[in-house]
Structure 1
Amino acid sequence: MVSSQSLNARIPAYKNAFSSGELQKTYQDLVGVVQNLRTEFSKRYETEFSVAAILHGYIDFTYFYLQNEYLKRKKLKLALVFNHQHANFELWLLGQTKDVQIQYWNKLRGAKWVNPEAMPAYSVFEAPLLVAPDFDDAVKLTETVCSQFELLLQEILELLEASE
């Protein structure tokens, strides 16, 4: 939701959000969770995927890219995304360029994760991976994200193969 207030009018709430230090600490801890997942993915899937570095330049998403030979040939990649607004994990299918993204969005419009009305700003689609993560149990969180990733990956690959 975009505020209709001026930037100056929004500054007090912004300063207030930072005043206790909780926001910064929580953000850093969540980025750490994604970093640990990236490390686990690098180890667990090293023969199947190249795993890029963590990207977290914006407060709304923290993510890393995954790509295998199949996706690379199609000029696609996956992103394992932590959505800070919803505090959940998502798996996004992305094109290497906007044109590739549009091409696959059009090709996959009937698929379950694809919004037929409008393409997302950054992806072909954004599939829910883990809606209610338990951040207090790191081992369980990692195992759940990995198992959900494997299930979704299989569905996505089948979807892509069926679209050819």
Structure 2
Amino acid sequence: MKDLNDYVNSYKEQLKIGDIQEAYAGLVKYVTKLSTTLSKNLSKSYSFGSLFQGYMDYTYFYYSNQFLKDRKLKMGLVLNHPKMQFEVWLLGQTIPIQERYWEYFKNTKWNKNRTTKPQYSILETVLLANPNFNDLDKLSKQIEESLVQVTAEIIQEIKVSQLK
């Protein structure tokens, strides 16, 4: 069984190579720019929050509109680092809100094949599974189009639920 020193030594070796730092800095820079772009392009529909870098696991920012805010909900655009994919998450402000919406959403297409509530959210759905970071403008357009579509579908599902 490895101890912390083993992990630290492996970490140091990877840092010497330098690729991890370059990749992480590039990804965070891109998601920051994406947040700014979406905020400009979608300002009539959503308000956007600050970027959270995470711990090399998730880089994300929140977005919402009045409909979601009235229900104490918000959305998150998440770069899932281990899976290297973009996801949209539906989140509640408190645990009771998350639980109430989970009870509804666990039986929908959004949580198909899930038996337990996600750790941080009500639902998590893949927006873009294999992003191409060599064409960032095209990637941003793909994410924006998918985000608008998926968010509209989730909001429609919330309306159908009649949960407040």
Output aligned runs, 1:54-93, within 5 Å.
Answer: 54-93=51-90
Contact 1:37–1:142 (Cα < 8 Å) also in 2: yes
Q: 1:116 to 1:133 in 2, by over 3 A?
A: closer
Paired-residue identity, %:
37
Matched, 1:18 2:15: yes
2:137 is matched with 139
Counterpart AA for 1:151: Q
Output aligned runs, 1:122-161, within 5 Å.
Answer: 122-161=120-159
Deviation of 1:5 after TM superposition, in Å, equals 2.2
- Paired positions, count: 161
Output aligned runs, 1:83-122, within 5 Å.
Answer: 83-114=80-111, 116-122=114-120
If the length of structure 1 is used for normalisation, what is the TM-score?
0.94
Counterpart AA for 2:145: S
The 2-side partners of 1:156 and 1:59 are apart by 27
The 1-side partners of 2:46 and 2:160 are apart by 22
Counterpart AA for 2:34: L
1:47 is matched with 44
> Aligned-residue CA RMSD in angstroms?
1.2
Q: Where in structure 1 are there 5+ consecutive unaligned residues?
A: none
The 1-side partners of 2:60 and 2:38 are apart by 12
Counterpart AA for 1:55: F
What do the CA deviations read for 1:3-48 (whole angstroms, capped 9, x no partner)? x522122222111121111101100000111011101111011122
Q: Where in structure 2 are there 5+ consecutive unaligned residues?
A: none
What do the CA deviations read for 1:68-91 (whole angstroms, capped 9, x no partner)? 000001110000000111111000
If the length of structure 2 is used for normalisation, what is the TM-score?
0.94
Secondary structure at the residue paired with 2:109? coil
Runs of 4+ in 1 over 2 A off after TM superposition: none
The 2-side partners of 1:23 and 1:116 are apart by 32
